[in-house]
Amino acid sequence: MKIAVIGAGAMGSLFSAFLSRSKEDIWLLTGNKDEATIINSKGICLDGVSGTWQARPKASSDVREIGKADLALICVKSFDTKRAIERIKPLLQENTKIMTMQNGLGNIEIISELAGEERVIGGVTSEASTLIETGRIMHCGKGESLIGTLSGKTPVEIRQIRESFNKAGLQTKASRDIKSLIWSKLIVNSGINALSAITRLPNGKLTEFEGTKRLLREAVSEAAKVAKRKRIKLVYDDPLAKAETVCESTAQNISSMLQDILNRRRTEIDFINGAIVRIGQELGITVPTNRLLTDLVKTIESSYYFQINKK
């Protein structure tokens, strides 16, 4: 199987590194030539929960060099999904599948609109990674990945992908209800990511202060209310307990949104808390805490130039 991993950030680097240990033909599509040159010359160096090791996936910034692929694994930020799908069209052949391992809501819909729903595989992962620099990542947490189609069917391609991922050391299972899994992760992220980005606290600290613990609970409760109105069946019974458990189990982790804020990059707020605000409006449900978190993160994004950095 020829797999093209799209995006050389924290998760794209992690997945391409692991997959390169398999017998599959792995390519990493980077954002520019400099990234590709670094990865091709030095490989990807990993530290963290999986040990210290090096992988050598093939990297290119030219989609035409990669050629046709059997699977395109989308690991770009959600706001770049549309541009990524337009970019990878030369990779696609009749049976090519496109799998998203991204945060938030809307990615499956964007990919379906541009490339056809029959190609799309949804995915969620508990793997955690931090990009130190191009070609160097910290593997912060190891966990399960789940993949599936919106139809709930498990075609042969899903089974092949699951087998390849598991051989590479990525614990992966097929799911018949990927929509519920995406929403379940979204609700947890709605309580953690924006709050950690605003306070600049690692996940575990969010439950140690009364103010952040209260805001986390309010954000998660609002998101769960929206999911319930949409008749989404969550994979856990108690969203609040689940969010707090995730904070504890990933105590030292710096959320992806906090990583973006620290590096003065655009965040995925519109696809996480912002999505809860948007859907809440459509359903007539007030979600003031999610709106507050969205507004604050967007203000931080818009004001990078004016922020004071006191050393």
Task: Write the CB contacts of 299 (distance below 8 Å, at least 6 apart in sequence).
Answer: none
Instruction: Give which of 6, 3, 41, 42 is closest to 20, Cα–Cα.
Output: 3
What whole-number distance in Å separates Cα of residue 272 and Cα of residue 190? 6
CB 173 within 8 A of CB 162: yes
Report residue 90 as tokens.
Answer: 């030369």
Q: Which of 185, 233, 298, 310 is labelled catalytic?
A: 185
Report residue 30 as tokens.
Answer: 């980077």
User: 185 an active-site residue?
Assistant: yes
Report residue 255 as tokens.
Answer: 């959320």
Phi first, then psi: give them for residue 25, nearest 5 degrees: -90, 105
CB 24 within 8 A of CB 1: yes
CB 14 within 8 A of CB 48: no
Burial-class residue 245 by CB neighbours within 10 Å (0-12, 13-18, 19+). Answer: middle
Task: Write the CB contacts of 239 (distance below 8 Å, at least 6 apart in sequence).
Answer: 187, 188, 220, 221, 223, 224
CB 87 within 8 A of CB 49: no
In 79-235, DSSP assigns E strands to 97-100, 120-125, 128-133, 136-141, 145-148, 172-174
Q: What is the DSSP letter of 126?
A: -
Beta bridge partners of 5: 28, 73
Residues tagged active-site? 185
